[in-house]
Amino acid sequence: MARFMRKGITRFYFLPTIASTALAPTVAEITAGERLDPELAEVNGFMFSNSPIQTPDMASAFVSQIPGEDTVEDSNLVFYEDDTDNPVYDAQTKGTVGFIVIFPKGIAGATPATGDDCDVWPVQVASSSRQYTADNEAGKYEIVYTPTDPPELDTAVLA
């Protein structure tokens, strides 16, 4: 098993719909979505975790724990802004509901195909705003997402 760098491998898509209740996207749904990674400058969040509950008792000095609430970190994506056209920005205005689909280890071929492994994050756009700076850097904008349901991790693309 070889280590790898996500940059140039991991792919991100925004899908307006996924029909499967198991949150497994189809090739057609991915094709109808918007590929994000070519314009993606920064990724924050998109981490699923649990908040354990401490369960001390008088029989032991050790404080045991049980699983508690599942949580998701604040999640946002920062994109480079184009000076003429911003299809990602235009498609993800405040309130837009959809799915962020992440192929953490890339895809097998040139385009996503049946069986490719992905993570699916049901989201709503909380905000979409330009970042202004006088620094020597490219124009960017940030889209902040709120989770609407638990993510489906390690699911396979359907035919």
State pLDDT tens for residues 8-47: 999 999 999 999 989 999 999 999 999 999 999 999 999 9
The overall average pLDDT reported for the chain is: 94
- pTM for this entry: 0.91
11-156 architecture in CATH?
Beta Barrel (2.40)
State pLDDT tens for residues 102-126: 999 999 899 999 999 999 999 999 9
Residue type, 26: T
Position 41 scores a pLDDT of 96
Position 85 scores a pLDDT of 84
Segment 73-88 shows an average pLDDT of 91
| Domain ranges, ordered by start, for the chain | 11-156
